[in-house]
Amino acid sequence: MEIIIQPTVADAQQEAANILRRQIRDKPASVLGLATGSTPIGVYALLVAMHRRGELDFSRVSTFNLDEYVGLPPDHPCSYREFMRQHLFSHVNIASDRIHFPNGLAADIPAHCEEYEAAIARAGGIDLQLLGIGREGHIGFNEPSSSLASRTRIKTLTPQTLKDNADCFGGPDKVPHHVITMGVGTIMDARQCLLLATGEAKASVVAGMVEGPITADLPASILQLHPVCRLVIDEAAAAKLRRADYYRWVYANKPGWQRS
Ligand code: GLP
């Protein structure tokens, strides 16, 4: 895992946006896995700005979002589809038929989950998966105890996640208890992963993910086994890493041709 520590949240967001820009420029028909949550909002704003400056063309890009709430129509203000429309899709030239989400209203959820996996495979697999991390170590909505080999399926949210995601819904009791999420195994199949985490509230989980054991108790720890995974964090999220100085040293000595 490459650990990139940036001084501020803004620097971390810029680094993540630069990595995505490089991916799309190197492969204009990239298949991107996208994430929601408050962390990537600034990255999406930077991608929109890059697009407006003529630096990024989304016309051949395909996207698969990690997860969606069960029971919410796509245009519900708290659905993840609506989140992505607001923060990215309505501002760039992406083709609507290349945007993919789990369908929270699917009548047959297991069949729909299989179809989501099949759609990813038909698109050629995910080139770059953008991730955030939940306070208890989830990626997508793979809560602690998720099988590290899991595929897209229905999951039940933990009380902590209900609390963390309550803002849009007006209280934890109003957050849907079920979601459809790509599995940990689905995420691990992406050719590259890019996890962005910022702020002191993420410092413990980041340390556990990077320097702790690989365990389903902290699903993001499986990324230690991913062959091409970058973790971009700010100083606050890096505060509990034992080897932070070493990670900084490695990054400072990174060959120019490897930079985004
Ligand atoms: C949600 C999403 C995750 C995201 C997490 C962290 O649970 N399903 O993909 O990583 O929130 O959210 P935040 O970035 O707001 O801390």
Return the ligand 1 atom nearest residue 40 CA.
14
Task: Flag whether pLDDT at 258 surpasses 90.
Answer: no
Q: How much distance in Å is there from the Cα of 164 to the middle of ligand 1?
A: 8
Can you give the pLDDT at residue 37?
95
Structure tokens at 147: 């099988």
Can you give the pLDDT at residue 74?
87
Q: How much distance in Å is there from the Cα of 51 to the middle of ligand 1?
A: 25
pLDDT digits (tens, 9 = 90+) for 103-145: 999 999 999 999 999 999 999 999 999 999 999 999 999 999 9
Q: How much distance in Å is there from the Cα of 170 to the middle of ligand 1?
A: 17
pLDDT digits (tens, 9 = 90+) for 177-225: 999 999 999 999 999 999 999 999 999 999 999 999 999 999 999 999 9
Structure tokens at 249: 């040293």
Q: How much distance in Å is there from the Cα of 141 to the middle of ligand 1?
A: 8
pLDDT digits (tens, 9 = 90+) for 79-104: 999 999 999 999 999 999 999 999 99
Is the C-beta atom of 129 inside 6 A of ligand 1?
no
Can you give the pLDDT at residue 257?
86
Task: Flag whether pLDDT at 174 surpasses 90.
Answer: yes
Is the C-beta atom of 133 inside 6 A of ligand 1?
yes
Nearest alpha carbon to residue 144 among 56, 74, 209:
209
* pTM of the predicted model over 0.75: yes
Count CB atoms within 10 A of the CB of residue 108: 9
Can you give the pLDDT at residue 153?
98
Can you give the pLDDT at residue 260?
79
Q: Please answer whether residues 153 and 184 qualify as being in contact, where contact means their C-beta atoms are separated by less than 8 angstroms.
A: no
Is the C-beta atom of 6 inside 6 A of ligand 1?
no
Task: Flag whether pLDDT at 256 surpasses 90.
Answer: no
Minimum CA distance residue for ligand 1 atom 11: 37
Nearest alpha carbon to residue 60 among 98, 26, 22:
98
Is the C-beta atom of 66 inside 6 A of ligand 1?
yes
